[in-house]
């Protein structure tokens, strides 16, 4: 079963994330897409991160029991910081009948050479890439193009989503009403819990 893995902090999850997952579920022949909530991204600052259980709950609310999508806390139970190659090894052992495909933005593609065991990652796994504003995706970056074994990377012509979680966090901090950037249950949870209303310490 072809299963897409959409890794992210989802801090918070918004309609851009769900639209991207929807696109790949329909256009990349994926039976399911799992939102893998990262407890700690080694390449990101932790100061603005909501606690992981809140971010997981926001993702669950965003997916609203759609059978194509699943919120995954798999990395919560693995050693930290979490590395994609280690998570994939664990998932392959746990779900041997599934074929896992990575979903990532073009910004991540350009920094993929910094990831742990990146050559093994691109050799063993199929990757589908969606465009991000300001990042060129017409061709593979040199660090990937010159690999001995051509990576299985598809640069998808998905719609460009110019929504960022950092923009939404800042807008909420400024007291803006951003409800239409979220699924309704997600926005309600954010407002009820007063998330992102104060600047990080």
> Does residue 179 sit within a domain?
no
**Helix runs in 75-127, H state only:** 84-94, 106-110, 118-124
> Does residue 171 sit within a domain?
no
Q: What is the mean pLDDT of residues 163-179?
A: 96
> Does residue 186 sit within a domain?
no
Residue 163 burial (C-beta neighbours within 10 Å; 0-12, 13-18, 19+): middle
Q: What is the mean pLDDT of residues 102-109?
A: 95
> Does residue 124 sit within a domain?
yes
Answer whether residue 176 shows pLDDT above 80.
Answer: yes
Answer whether residue 201 shows pLDDT above 60.
Answer: no
pLDDT at residue number 48? 75
pLDDT at residue number 19? 97
Answer whether residue 121 shows pLDDT above 90.
Answer: yes
CATH number for the domain spanning 118: value is: 3.40.50.620
pLDDT at residue number 195? 96
> Does residue 197 sit within a domain?
no
CA 81 to CA 38: how far, in whole Å?
Answer: 9
> Does residue 192 sit within a domain?
no
CA 9 to CA 38: how far, in whole Å?
Answer: 5
What is the tally of structural domains in the chain?
A: 1
* Domain with 16 in it: 2-162
Q: Please, what is the average pLDDT of the chain?
A: 92
> Does residue 193 sit within a domain?
no
> Does residue 58 sit within a domain?
yes
Answer whether residue 143 shows pLDDT above 90.
Answer: no
Q: Predicted confidence band at 123 (pLDDT cuts at 50, 70, 90)?
A: very high
**pLDDT tens digits for 14-61?**
999 999 999 999 999 999 999 999 986 655 556 678 999 999 999 999
């Amino acid at each position: 079963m072809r299963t897409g893995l959409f890794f992210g902090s989802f801090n918070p999850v918004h309609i851009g994330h769900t639209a991207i997952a929807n696109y790949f579920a329909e256009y990349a022949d994926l039976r399911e897409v799992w939102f893998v909530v990262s407890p700690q991204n080694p390449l990101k600052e932790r100061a603005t991160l909501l606690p992981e259980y809140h971010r997981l709950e926001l993702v669950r609310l965003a997916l609203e029991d759609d059978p194509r999508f699943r919120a995954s806390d798999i990395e919560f139970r693995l050693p930290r910081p979490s590395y994609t190659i280690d998570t994939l090894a664990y998932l392959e052992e746990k779900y041997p009948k599934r074929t896992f495909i990575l979903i990532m933005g073009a910004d991540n593609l350009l920094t993929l050479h910094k990831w742990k065991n990146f050559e093994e990652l691109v050799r063993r796994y199929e990757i589908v890439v969606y465009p991000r504003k300001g990042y060129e995706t017409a061709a593979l970056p040199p660090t990937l193009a010159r690999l001995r074994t051509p990576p299985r990377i598809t640069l998808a012509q998905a719609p460009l989503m110019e929504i960022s979680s950092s923009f939404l966090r800042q807008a909420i901090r400024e007291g803006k009403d951003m409800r239409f950037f979220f699924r309704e249950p997600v926005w309600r949870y954010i407002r009820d819990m007063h998330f992102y209303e104060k600047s990080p310490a």
